Amino acid sequence: MTEQLQLDNGLIRISDDVVAKIAGMAALETPGIAAMSGGLSEGWAKRLSGKNVQRGVTVEVGQLEAAIDLRIIVLYETPIHEVCRMLQQNVREAVESMTGLKIVEVNVKVEGVAFKDDEM
């Protein structure tokens, strides 16, 4: 789906994929995040729909608001609750500042823990 905003000068269209990409980039820039978690269901969704689904990010965009779900892997020995709060804030700020959408929620699901020596 593509979000449309009617302005005085015309329409602005923001694709869900764009919002997902911004959220994913902001998430990976957050200290303590080892990687995004794609999961099996995302692999099937990509095969069935033919769409390039942003790994570990699901967005639901409305008229002027959006909700974001993130699936992440955190680094071992980092305080998970602090990393998740920082992640929510970073993603909210990045998406709101770049798109003008109001982010109503950023849900985080921690799906794993990685050691610094692990390869992602």
Query: How much is the pLDDT for 49?
Result: 41
The DSSP bridge pattern shows strands 33-36 and 2-7 to be unpaired
Domains, the chain, ranges and CATH? 25-38+52-114 (3.30.70.1350)
What's the pLDDT score for residue 119? 55
- Sequence-separated (6 or more) residues with CB below 8 Å from residue 116: 75, 76
Q: What is the DSSP letter of 94?
A: H
pLDDT value of position 14: 86
pLDDT of residue 13: 77
Q: pLDDT at position 47, please?
A: 42
Q: According to the model, what pLDDT value does residue 1 have?
A: 52
Tokens in use for 90? 């970073």
Per-residue pLDDT of the chain (120 residues; tens, 9 = 90+): 555 555 567 777 788 999 999 999 999 999 999 999 976 554 444 444 444 346 899 999 887 899 999 999 999 999 999 999 999 999 999 999 999 999 999 999 999 999 977 655
- The pLDDT, as a whole number, for residue 68 is 97
